Chain A
Amino acid sequence: MIKINNLSKSFSDNLVLENITTTIEHGEVVAVIGPSGSGKSTFLRCINLLESPSSGQILLHEMDITKPKINKLEIRKNIGMVFQHFHLFPHMTAFENVMYAPMKVKHQKRGEAEKIAKELLIKVGLTEKMDTYPNRLSGGQKQRVAIARALAMEPEIMLFDEPTSALDPEMVKEVLDVMKDLAKSGMTMVVVTHEMNFAKEVADRIIFMDGGQLIEEGEPISFFDNPQTKRAGDFLAKVL
Chain B
Amino acid sequence: MNLDFSQIVPSIPFILEGIGATLKFVSVSILLGLILGTIFALCKISNKKWLKWPADAYTSIFRGTPLILQLMIIHYAVPQLFQYDIPVFLSAVLAFGLNSAAYVSEIIRAGIMAVDKGQVEAAEALGVAYRPMMLNIILPQAIKNILPALMNEFISLTKESALVSTIGYLDIMRRAEIVGSQLYRNFEPLLFAGLIYWVMVFILSTIGRWVERRMRHSD
| Chain A residues in the interface with B (C-beta under 8 A) | 48, 50, 72-74, 76-77, 79-81, 83, 85, 87-91, 100-101, 104-105, 135, 149-150, 153
Is the pair B141, A91 in contact by a Cβ cutoff of 8 Å? Answer: yes
Is the pair A77, B219 in contact by a Cβ cutoff of 8 Å? Answer: no
* Smallest CB separation, A184 vs chain B (Å): 24
Q: Which residues of A contact B129 (CB under 8 A)?
A: 73, 105
Q: Which residues of A contact B116 (CB under 8 A)?
A: 87
Instruction: Report 9 cross-chain contacts, Cβ distance below 8 Å, ordered by A residue.
Output: A73-B129, A76-B124, A77-B126, A79-B125, A81-B125, A83-B121, A85-B118, A101-B127, A104-B136
Q: Which residue on chain B has the smallest CB distance to residue A105?
A: B127
* Smallest CB separation, A134 vs chain B (Å): 11
Q: Which residues of A contact B125 (CB under 8 A)?
A: 48, 50, 76, 79-81, 83, 150
Quick one: given A91-B140, A135-B219, are A104 and B118 in contact (CB under 8 Å)?
no
Q: Which residue on chain B has the smallest CB distance to residue A77?
A: B127
Besides A50-B125, A87-B116, A101-B126, 18 new A-B residue pairs in contact (Cβ under 8 A), listed by A number: A76-B125, A79-B125, A81-B125, A83-B121, A83-B122, A83-B125, A88-B122, A90-B141, A91-B141, A100-B128, A104-B128, A104-B136, A105-B126, A105-B127, A105-B128, A135-B219, A150-B125, A153-B126
Quick one: given A50-B121, A104-B132, A135-B219, are A89 and B137 in contact (CB under 8 Å)?
yes
* B124, B127, B132 — most chain A CB neighbours (10 Å): B127
Q: Which residues of B contact A88 (CB under 8 A)?
A: 122
**Residue B46 lies at the interface, judged by CB distance under 8 Å to chain A:** no
**Residue B206 lies at the interface, judged by CB distance under 8 Å to chain A:** no
CA gap between A149 and B119 in the complex, in Å:
13
* Smallest CB separation, A77 vs chain B (Å): 4
* Smallest CB separation, B138 vs chain A (Å): 10
Q: Which residues of B contact A48 (CB under 8 A)?
A: 125
* Smallest CB separation, B139 vs chain A (Å): 10
Is the pair B124, A50 in contact by a Cβ cutoff of 8 Å? Answer: yes
Mostly, the B contact residues are helix
Top 5 nearest A-B pairs (CB, nearest first) are A87-B122, A87-B118, A101-B126, A77-B127, A81-B125
Q: Which residues of B contact A100 (CB under 8 A)?
A: 126, 128, 136
Q: Which residue on chain B has the smallest CB distance to residue A84?
A: B118
CA gap between A77 and B129 in the complex, in Å:
11
Q: Which residues of B contact A101 (CB under 8 A)?
A: 126-128
Is the pair A76, B122 in contact by a Cβ cutoff of 8 Å? Answer: no
CA gap between A87 and B116 in the complex, in Å:
9
Is the pair A89, B127 in contact by a Cβ cutoff of 8 Å? Answer: no
CB contact between A74 and one of B124, B127, B136, B137 (< 8 Å): that residue: B127
Q: Which residue on chain B has the smallest CB distance to residue A133?
A: B219
Quick one: given A90-B141, A100-B136, A104-B132, are A76 and B118 in contact (CB under 8 Å)?
no
CA gap between A90 and B142 in the complex, in Å:
12
CA gap between A73 and B132 in the complex, in Å:
13
Q: Which residues of A contact B219 (CB under 8 A)?
A: 135
CA gap between A79 and B125 in the complex, in Å:
8
CA gap between A79 and B124 in the complex, in Å:
11
Q: Which residues of B contact A105 (CB under 8 A)?
A: 126-129
* Smallest CB separation, A131 vs chain B (Å): 16
Q: Which residue on chain A has the smallest CB distance to residue B120?
A: A87
Q: Which residues of A contact B128 (CB under 8 A)?
A: 73, 100-101, 104-105
CA gap between A90 and B141 in the complex, in Å:
8
* Smallest CB separation, B134 vs chain A (Å): 12
Q: Which residues of A contact B127 (CB under 8 A)?
A: 73-74, 76-77, 101, 105, 153
Q: Which residues of A contact B140 (CB under 8 A)?
A: 91
* Smallest CB separation, A138 vs chain B (Å): 18
